[in-house]
Structure 1
Amino acid sequence: MKINGRRTSVRLERGFWDALDDMARRRGLDIAILVSEVDQVRGDRPLVRALRVASVSYFREFLNRATDVGAARAVQSEEWADLLEETTQTVFVGG
């Protein structure tokens, strides 16, 4: 995988790859671009750890916001898409 212009390999458990793939798909990104974004904001953390934290944080925030919005409203596709976008921005800007 090429991340921020350099070739690297990343070993993660299958569940984390599935979560990252889902995150990337929801944002319309290639997974390498998503991994590059995490790499850019990870600071001194190892990349693998930052990817695990990003995936767990993303879905925790997503569920918290979905609960706040309410089940009836969250199911509506347009609001659901907006919620996903806001959640992604929160994780990467605030994380």
Structure 2
Amino acid sequence: MTRPQKHSLTIGGHRTSVSLEPDFWNGLREIAALRDQGINALVTEIDATRQPDTGLATAIRLFVFRHYRDRS
């Protein structure tokens, strides 16, 4: 298992950092490409729909997981 990697993102004009495992970063990039979106735009959508008590990194992991689960 690999350690999470921290990347900076811009969400709604504000910079933030998110730590995710490389597989989740790769999945997020792939999904963004399939939607013809940038990662920042996709994460902005994820951020806007997450529950208030769910952290951003968790919301991203769940989004990526659900995307691939629903595809199979």
Query: Which segments of structure 1 move beyond 3 Å, counting only runs of 4 or more?
Result: none
Equivalent in the alignment of 1:38: 46
The one-letter code matched in structure 2 to 1:18 is N
Q: TM-score under structure 1 normalisation?
A: 0.64
- Identify the residue that residue 15 of structure 1 maps to in structure 2: 23
- Mark the structure with the bigger radius of gyration: 1
CA root-mean-square deviation: 0.7
- 1:54 maps to 63
The within-5 A match list for 1:50-89 is 50-63=59-72
> For structure 2, which runs of at least 5 residues remain unmatched after alignment?
1-8
Higher helix share: 1
Structure having the larger proportion of residues in strand: 2
